[in-house]
Amino acid sequence: MPVALTDDIVTRFIAALPDFVAASDAVAARYGIEMMGEPEVACATLAANPQAIAEMSASVAPHGFGGIGDFLGVFATVTRAFLVAAGIVPPAQAAALPGAPDDATVALVAAHLPEILAAMMSVGMLAP
């Protein structure tokens, strides 16, 4: 289910992304969680480890997120809208996907596209 985004939420997402990725890398190494493998396996392994969840939540809390679940909901919504705003996925194709972003969400993310691209590149999610 998409999260209703605001300008403030997108700005906080951009600011939190480097801290989230650093915490993800540290948690993965410390607890042997393969974050880039099968999502279901990574989520199940993470869910079984309250300390890992606490560490991940602590990484996004300074940016106003209520925990890792809150942040991941925003992450998913921003990512879906980003794919449309950046022209990677055509709007008609995106509309058929679960949790498809509406036009207002895509427009909001598009307004932050340079900052989102820079943040994603800075943490290695996208190649420069």
- Closest by CA to 84, choosing from 68, 100, 62, 61, is 100
Domain boundaries, position 47: 7-122
Number of structural domains (the chain) is 1
Q: pTM (2 decimals)?
A: 0.89
1 belongs to a structural domain: no
Residue 52 inside a domain? The answer is yes
Per-residue pLDDT tens over the stretch 63-116? 999 999 899 899 989 999 999 999 999 988 988 888 889 999 999 999 999 999
Q: Which residues contact 107 (CB under 8 A, 6 or more apart)?
A: 85
